[in-house]
Amino acid sequence: MPRGKTTSYWLRVAIAASAVLSVGCASSGNTLAQDLAYKRWEKCRDIPGVQLKEIRPDGQIWIIWTANAGRKEWQDCDRRAAAELAQQGAVAPSATASSVSPTRMTTSVLPEQLGVPAWRVGDEWAYRQEAPEGASTFIWSVDRTETIDGIAHFVVRSGTRETFYRVSDLAISLSTVSRDTVEQYRPAWQAITWPLTVGKAWEQRFTEERPRDRQALELTRSCRADAEESITVPAGTFPSVSVVCLNSRTGAVVYRRWYSPHVKNMVREIWQLTSGHRMRELIAFKLR
């Protein structure tokens, strides 16, 4: 402790919000990370010795400690709130979905065919993930548009990872981490072809290049939109189209995802891995 200070001296500390799992009551001008962090703060704000300084756009909660005694109690509460809210979920305020409930959203049936989602810069989706290596959460944010080889792309950011989706059809061209390319797809990988209708089938051959590993994988996927289903995830209940994709060479299921136009993205996804499976579910979203 600095000389001349008492135990009541002001100590500011940043708590990283990578495990943010809730939904805030803030305005639509906030980022989804801020909305989520605010809800965690609301659950733990009454602990003595804790005062909120600010919640930053990236979801960091800045605390002013008026007494050291409350620090561990608040951190423990924060972790419990994150885990609890990951299971419960909620829907963040949306500028384009004024009917959204603060705790649950149930939507109507789907049209017969679905066009390319009209993403906008500022659209955000929060997911929880369960995988063999453990549980985690992340936020996808449409950060900007960028032109690659004369073709417009949306850049979707999650931490230091950025994924480049063609604006015309949301096919993935490449992914970077800290601006270094980690995956590149030739041609671009179309996880879904549009317009999407139940019963539609497609096949794609592409190369997945991994420069860091000096690998190039030749992949063939056979996909089908096989059903319309009502899916309940922490963010709510949504009508969706389930899409299953197989390894064309072996016939094994590679992944299944449930896409809902009401959130302009998937609400659930399950990948079959050699070590088990990876599941992602929508926790919250915010559309501009």
Q: With bands split at pLDDT 50, 70 and 90, how would you rate the model's confidence at 89?
A: low
Neighbours of 46 (CB within 10 A): 9
Q: With bands split at pLDDT 50, 70 and 90, how would you rate the model's confidence at 79?
A: confident
**How far apart, in whole angstroms, are the C-alpha atoms of residue 56 and residue 62?**
8
Distance set, CA 122 to CA 36, 75, 218, 238, 243 (Å): 15, 30, 34, 22, 26
β-partners of residue 137 are 128
- Does residue 97 surpass a pLDDT of 60? no
How do strand 172-177 and strand 11-15 relate by DSSP bridges?
Answer: unpaired
Share of the chain above pLDDT 70, in %: 81
Q: With bands split at pLDDT 50, 70 and 90, how would you rate the model's confidence at 69?
A: low
Q: With bands split at pLDDT 50, 70 and 90, how would you rate the model's confidence at 175?
A: very high
- SS3 at position 232: strand
Predicted pLDDT at 107: 55
Predicted pLDDT at 92: 38
Cβ proximity of 167 and 153 under 8 Å: yes
CA nearest to 212, candidates 254, 180, 246, 235:
180
Burial zone of 29 (CB within 10 Å; 0-12 exposed, 13-18 middle, 19+ buried) = exposed
**How far apart, in whole angstroms, are the C-alpha atoms of residue 211 and residue 216?**
8
The model's pLDDT over 115-152, given as tens digits with 9 standing for 90+, comes to: 999 999 999 999 999 988 888 889 999 999 999 999 99
Predicted pLDDT at 172: 98
CA nearest to 213, candidates 184, 237, 252:
184
The model's pLDDT over 229-277, given as tens digits with 9 standing for 90+, comes to: 999 999 999 999 999 999 999 999 999 999 999 999 999 999 998 778 8
**How far apart, in whole angstroms, are the C-alpha atoms of residue 208 and residue 183?**
6
Q: Give the CA angle between residues 29, 35, 41 to the nearest 5°.
A: 135
Q: Which residue has the higher pLDDT, 23 or 185?
A: 185
**How far apart, in whole angstroms, are the C-alpha atoms of residue 234 and residue 285?**
11
Q: How far is CA 222 from the centre of its chain?
A: 25
Kindly report each contact of residues 155-163 with a partner whose C-beta sits within 8 Å and lies 24 or more positions away, as own/partner.
159/18
- Does residue 184 surpass a pLDDT of 80? yes
Predicted pLDDT at 16: 33
Cβ proximity of 104 and 237 under 8 Å: yes
* pTM (global) more than 0.85: no
- Does residue 87 surpass a pLDDT of 90? no
